[in-house]
Amino acid sequence: MSEATPQVTPEVMSETTPEVTPEVPGKADATLASSRLAVTAFPASVAEASQPVLDWWVHHWMDAAHPLSRLQRTWVESVFEAIEVETDFLNVCALSNVKLLNCLAAARPVVGSSFLHSCYHEVAQEMADAHMARLGRVAELPEDFKQRLWEEIC
C-alpha cells in the first residue's frame, strides 16, 4: 500500500502555508486517548471541585431568600418616600426662611410694620400649606406600604 504525498506547486507555496503531514494509522487513536484523559482529569483545586455544589446551594438559597428580599425592597421604597416628603418640606422651610430674611433686610423704618406683617403672613401661609401637604402625604404612606406588601405577597 503506497502513501499518497501531496503535490505542492512552487507558485502557490508561501511562508504562511501550513505544512501537510500524512496521516499515520495509529496516531488518531493516540489523540483520542489523550482527549479522554483530559476530560477525566481531576480539578486542580478544591474550589474548582466544589463549584457545582456551591452553585446548586446558592441557587436554592436565593430561591428561599427571594420573598424576604422583595419585602425588604418594599420597605426601603416606603422609607425613601417618607424621606422624600421630609426633604420637600425642609426645602419649603429653607425657601420661606430666605424670603423672611429678605423681608427683614428690605424693611426700613419708613416702611413701617405693615410691610413686615404682610411678609410674615405670606411666609406663615406658605409654611402652613406645606405642612398640610406634608401631613396628607404622610397619611397616605402606610396605605401605600400595605398595598405594596399585599402585592408582593400575592
Residue-averaged pLDDT of the chain: 74
For 1, the grid coordinates are 500500500
Alpha helix segments (H runs only) across 3-112: 27-39, 46-106
Sequence length of the chain is 154
Does the predicted model carry a pTM greater than 0.75?
no
pLDDT for 105 equals 82
Cell of 112: 413701617
Q: Look-up: residue for cell 507558485?
A: 11
Helix (H/G/I), strand (E/B), else coil: 16: coil
Q: Is the CB of residue 87 less than 8 Å from the CB of residue 96?
A: no
CA angle 129, 95, 109 (to 5 degrees): 100
pLDDT at 149: 76
Under the phi-then-psi rule, with left for phi > 0, alpha for psi from -120 to 50, and beta for the rest, what region is 112? left
pLDDT in tens, 37-60: 445 555 567 677 778 888 888 777
Residue 142 has pLDDT above 60, yes or no: yes
pLDDT digits (tens, 9 = 90+) for 85-120: 999 999 999 999 999 888 888 766 656 678 788 888
